[in-house]
Structure 1
Amino acid sequence: MESKRQQKFAGVIQKDLAEIFQREGSNLLPNIMVTITKVRVTSDLAIARIYLSFFNSSNNSLALNTIKAHAGEIRYKLGSRIKDQARIVPQLEFFVDDTSEYVERMDKIFDKISKEPRQPEQEE
């Protein structure tokens, strides 16, 4: 369970990273929109796990690896934004948020189930 402090700090990181990706994301990933879906921060605020969703991307793992390769640069830009709010700038760990893909897959399964003919209930 995250504390209020962790949640508040995660919100600050999410907001600032969203602005960084909005302004400079096209330099890293042209024609791909990056959305930060969730940020989780460890209890000591030293590590931030950032969950990303990519729109208009044919290869999410390649996009994620590109962002991971520029993690130091992104952390530096984040640090310049939050330097007055935090003692240390957390290490950034990036992950793909596949929640939307999971929801789509489940929807297809439920649609398939609902289209199958029902077996008549047998009375014993």
Structure 2
Amino acid sequence: MDSNRQKKVSTVFQEELSEIFRKEAKELYPGSLISVSEVKVSPDLSIAKVYISIFPVTNKDLIIKALKLKAPTYRSQLAKTAAKTMRITPELLFYLDNTLDEMERIDRALSGKGDNPIL
């Protein structure tokens, strides 16, 4: 279970990273929408797992790789906004959020339209 501190940090980081990606996506990834689905912060606040949704999914691997390379830059930007409330800014680890794809796959399988070996 997450503590109140973890929840607050997660919420703030999600909002801040969403704003950063909104501004950056226009310039670096035109035609792509990058959204922060969830941020999970470790109990000691040293690591933040950032789950990213990308639309369209055609160049998702390229974008995730670029985000991972720029993680130190994003960390320093977050440090500037959270400097008064946190001594150390967590290390950012980016992951592709596949929940929507999985939901769609399960829905197709249940409706009989997908690759369901049972039907």
Question: Which TM-score applies when normalising by structure 1?
Answer: 0.85
Please list every run of 5 or more consecutive structure 1 residues that lacks an aligned counterpart in the other structure. Answer: 114-124
Q: Percent sequence identity over matched residues?
A: 35
Q: Equivalent residues in 2 for 1:60-75 (5 A)?
A: 60-75=60-75
Q: Which moved more, 1:55-64 or 1:90-99?
A: 55-64
Corresponding position of 1:47? 47
* CA offsets 1:19-58 (integer angstroms, 9 cap, x no match): 1111223333232111100100001101100000001230
Q: Which has the larger radius of gyration?
A: 1
The SS at the match of 2:92 is strand
Matching residue of 2:83 = 83
* CA apart distance, 1:95: 0.2
Distance in 1, Cα, partners of 2:4 & 2:29: 33
Measured in 2, the distance between the counterparts of 1:9 and 1:93 equals 15
Q: Within 1, Cα distance between the matches of 2:75 and 2:5? A: 20
1:40-86 alpha-carbon deviations (Å, 9 max, x no partner): 00011011000000012303222111110111111111111111221
TM-score by length of 2: 0.88
The secondary structure found in structure 1 opposite 2:57 is coil
In the aligned structure 2, how far is the partner of 1:25 from the partner of 1:44?
A: 31
- Residues paired across the two proteins, number: 113
